[in-house]
């Protein structure tokens, strides 16, 4: 049995706004930086941020014996594949469309839990999954033409969500004795090296610095959504069942949509309003315990 404590709510709120408001900023950075170089800088800033926080707090960087293999696997799924797949999806689709596909992760978590781990959802969580799926579909409907015109974007967006689900289970089902923030640091650090080498091989060093605005957005993405947001996510995964933690992420694309409405003056469609309402209901079902009989 899990409890939705003030700590869980604080982590969920911080994560939702850190990750949700970041998607509309991608276009600013990617207008001046290639996708590989953008990801390299973001991960470099994230590693430096997490390292600095851990040094200030006096945290240990030690990895328990026998945990390197699951750590590398979790890093590959949660950070490596996620960054590469979402970057490839954004090459073919607008960032908002790609974000919706990536956040199909809760549906993959539920499917993996049922098929691989024989964990059937409860009636309440099943209702939350179906309503959350309705929210995702409502966001996808206006973009079906884009997916048809760019099937590679559809593939890579769904791949990102599926691999994130696998990584979530690796983190949840592995004991990490003594690892707090170091679990996030090492996952980011392990993926930083191959992604950085790939960026340098593909693009080389940039010929000129991006504008101050693009550079600020890139550094912010590394320090807040990537470093602090990822740390908040893994803390939630430890505190909540995998399916409930996954469902908590469905509010993120909603925040991305609302951010577009507020900052980019994009219209709010009826389907988007339905998605927002569905998300609220789904989160309530997932996070608020039902009344016990008797």
Neighbours of 141 (CB within 10 A): 13
Among residues 36, 137, 139, which one has the least CA distance to residue 88?
A: 36
Q: Residue 77, CB half-sphere, CA atoms under 13 Å: how many?
A: 17
Distance CA 278, CA 282 (A): 6
Mean pLDDT of the region 32-56 = 93
pLDDT in tens, 82-125: 888 887 887 777 666 677 777 778 778 877 887 787 777 667 66
Work out the pLDDT band at 240, boundaries 50, 70, 90: confident
- pLDDT at position 146: 63
Distance CA 245, CA 241 (A): 6
pLDDT in tens, 195-236: 999 889 888 877 778 899 999 999 999 999 999 999 999 998
Domain residue ranges of the chain, discontinuous segments joined by +: 6-287
Distance CA 120, CA 129 (A): 12
- pLDDT at position 293: 40
Are the C-beta atoms of residues 155 and 76 closer than 8 Å to each other?
no
- pLDDT at position 149: 64
Residue 259 scores a pLDDT above 60: yes
pTM score, two decimals?
A: 0.82
């Amino acid at each position: 049995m899990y409890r939705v404590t003030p700590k869980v709510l604080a982590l969920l709120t911080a994560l939702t706004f850190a990750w949700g408001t970041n998607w509309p900023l991608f276009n600013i950075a990617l207008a001046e930086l290639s996708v590989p170089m953008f990801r390299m800088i973001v991960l470099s800033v994230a590693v430096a941020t997490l390292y600095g926080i851990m040094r200030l707090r006096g945290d240990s960087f030690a990895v328990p014996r026998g945990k390197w293999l699951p750590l590398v696997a979790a890093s590959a799924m949660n950070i490596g594949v996620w960054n590469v797949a979402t970057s490839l999806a954004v090459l073919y689709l607008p960032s908002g469309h790609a974000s919706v596909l990536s956040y199909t992760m809760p549906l993959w978590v539920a499917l993996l839990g049922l098929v691989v781990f024989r964990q059937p959802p409860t009636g309440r969580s099943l209702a939350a999954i179906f309503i959350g799926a309705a929210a995702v579909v409502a966001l996808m409907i206006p973009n079906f033409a884009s997916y048809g015109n760019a099937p590679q974007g559809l593939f890579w967006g769904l791949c990102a969500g599926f691999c994130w689900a696998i990584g979530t289970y690796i983190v949840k089902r592995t004991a990490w004795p003594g690892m707090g923030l170091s679990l996030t640091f090492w996952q980011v650090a392990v993926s930083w090296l191959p992604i950085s080498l790939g960026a340098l091989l593909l693009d080389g060093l940039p010929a000129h610095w991006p504008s101050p605005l693009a550079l600020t957005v890139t550094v912010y993405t590394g320090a807040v959504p990537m470093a602090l947001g990822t740390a908040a996510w893994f803390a939630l995964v430890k505190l909540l069942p995998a399916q409930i933690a996954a469902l908590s992420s469905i509010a993120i694309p909603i925040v991305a949509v609302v951010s577009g409405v507020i900052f980019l003056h994009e219209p709010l469609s009826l389907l988007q309003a339905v998605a927002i309402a569905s998300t609220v209901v789904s989160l309530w079902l997932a996070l608020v315990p039902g009344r016990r009989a008797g």
